[in-house]
């Protein structure tokens, strides 16, 4: 079976060094295996989106020399499919409507001494009124241990029912949850290998449970270290991560490759973009990726922090 990888940015702002890591890791893994690499814009949450961000992300990827296969997918165009899948889960009694407010859910969780964020399943048997705003949750009863081996982070085990609880598939305001959309689209696009930031490691068991319930195959996973600042915060819009310079790709690409434990020769910085990519694809070694969840990004801490 041929490899299909993907990069799935949310259009909440321009690409920054942190997102470049995920784009680069997934791209090199796919290209080195002679596989395909797809781009999917995860525009599920309009209030968090920034106008023009999708186009800017795609332009930046292009200028950086990333070549994707086929058309870019947009999750905002796939609502009908998500509804079909939600209906299927409901028909099989695997999901339910939940009318609890966030406050009610957290009070119940505290009363029962459950871990933070774990919903106790109060509405599993009590139908939420058809008129009230309701979320749709997955019924995780009986979904116990999920274990998988992450290609970078090693063996991972999570008890879904106890540690995560009945997670939301569609929010009360009607927005589809990331967990649902990502599983449906990874399967629809035939993704066989997922390479992304370690901030999503904790979501993976939930995604595997959904894949199993829907009869989808489970891809392989590689969770890359995320780039953090001196305070240990992930590079993001909230931590003021600077946008990647659209017209000067080589320095950031070269640093991103070093961040991922590769040893690009300094001469690549002086050469053509095409030579950078030739070297990066031919020499990509996923076993050299540092087995850590987070690393300071270049320029933070010691001058050697890109090592």
Instruction: Catalog residues that contact ligand GLU under the rule CB under 6 A.
Output: 8-10, 42, 182, 196, 200
Of 10 and 286, which CB lies nearer to ligand GLU in the complex structure?
10
**Residue 121 phi/psi, 5° resolution?**
80, 20
Q: Report the b/e string of 137-164 with b at 16+ CB within 10 A.
A: bbbbeebeebeeebbbbeebebebbebb
The encoded tokens of residue 243 equal 């946008």
CA distances from 82 to 86, 199, 303 (A): 6, 24, 47
Kindly give, in sequence order, each residue whose CB lies less than 8 Å from that of residue 253, ignoring residues fewer than 6 positions away: 20, 24, 64, 65, 276, 280
Of 9 and 165, which CB lies nearer to ligand GLU in the complex structure?
9
CB of 15 to ligand GLU, least distance (A): 10
First-to-final CA distance of the chain: 35
Neighbours of 3 (CB within 10 A): 18
HSE (side-chain half, CA atoms, 13 Å) at 39: 23
Residue 220 β-bridge partners: 193
Length of the chain: 307
Of 42 and 161, which CB lies nearer to ligand GLU in the complex structure?
42
CB of 62 to ligand GLU, least distance (A): 18
Of 4 and 123, which CB lies nearer to ligand GLU in the complex structure?
4
CB of 22 to ligand GLU, least distance (A): 7
CB of 1 to ligand GLU, least distance (A): 21
Distance in angstroms (rounded) separating the CA atoms of residues 119 and 98? 10
The encoded tokens of residue 105 equal 């859910």
CA 188 from chain center: how many Å?
A: 16
Burial class (CB in 10 A: 0-12, 13-18, 19+), 12: middle
Of 86 and 226, which CB lies nearer to ligand GLU in the complex structure?
226
CB of 200 to ligand GLU, least distance (A): 5
CB of 42 to ligand GLU, least distance (A): 4
Of 82 and 276, which CB lies nearer to ligand GLU in the complex structure?
82
Of 13 and 296, which CB lies nearer to ligand GLU in the complex structure?
13
CB of 282 to ligand GLU, least distance (A): 25
Of 8 and 306, which CB lies nearer to ligand GLU in the complex structure?
8
CB of 124 to ligand GLU, least distance (A): 28
* Cβ atoms of 57 and 11 closer than 8 Å: yes
């Amino acid at each position: 079976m041929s490899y299909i990888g993907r990069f799935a940015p949310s259009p909440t702002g321009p690409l920054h060094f942190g997102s470049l890591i995920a784009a680069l890791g997934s791209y090199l893994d796919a290209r080195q295996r002679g596989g395909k690499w797809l781009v999917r814009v995860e525009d599920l949450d309009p209030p968090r989106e920034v106008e023009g961000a999708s186009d800017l992300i795609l332009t930046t990827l292009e200028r950086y020399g990333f070549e994707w296969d086929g058309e870019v997918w947009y999750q905002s165009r796939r609502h009908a499919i998500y509804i079909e899948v939600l209906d299927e889960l409901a028909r099989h009694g695997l999901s339910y409507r939940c009318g609890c407010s966030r406050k009610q859910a957290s009070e119940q969780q505290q009363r029962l001494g459950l871990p933070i964020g774990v919903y106790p399943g109060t509405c599993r048997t009590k139908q939420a009124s058809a008129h009230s705003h309701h979320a749709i949750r997955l019924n995780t009863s009986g979904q116990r241990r999920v274990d998988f081996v992450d290609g970078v982070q090693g063996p991972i085990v999570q008890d879904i029912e106890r540690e995560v609880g009945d997670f939301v598939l569609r929010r009360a305001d009607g927005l589809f949850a990331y967990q649902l959309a990502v599983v449906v689209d990874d399967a629809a696009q035939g993704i066989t290998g997922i390479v992304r930031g370690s901030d999503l490691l904790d979501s993976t068991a939930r995604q595997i449970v959904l894949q199993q319930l829907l009869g989808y195959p489970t891809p392989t996973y590689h969770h890359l270290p995320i780039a953090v600042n001196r305070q240990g915060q992930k590079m993001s819009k909230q931590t003021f991560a600077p946008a990647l310079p659209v017209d000067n790709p080589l320095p950031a690409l070269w640093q991103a490759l070093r961040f991922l434990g590769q040893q690009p020769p300094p001469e690549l910085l002086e050469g053509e973009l095409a030579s950078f990519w030739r070297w990066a694809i031919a020499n990509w070694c996923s076993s050299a990726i540092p087995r850590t969840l987070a690393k300071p990004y270049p320029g933070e801490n010691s001058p050697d922090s890109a090592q």
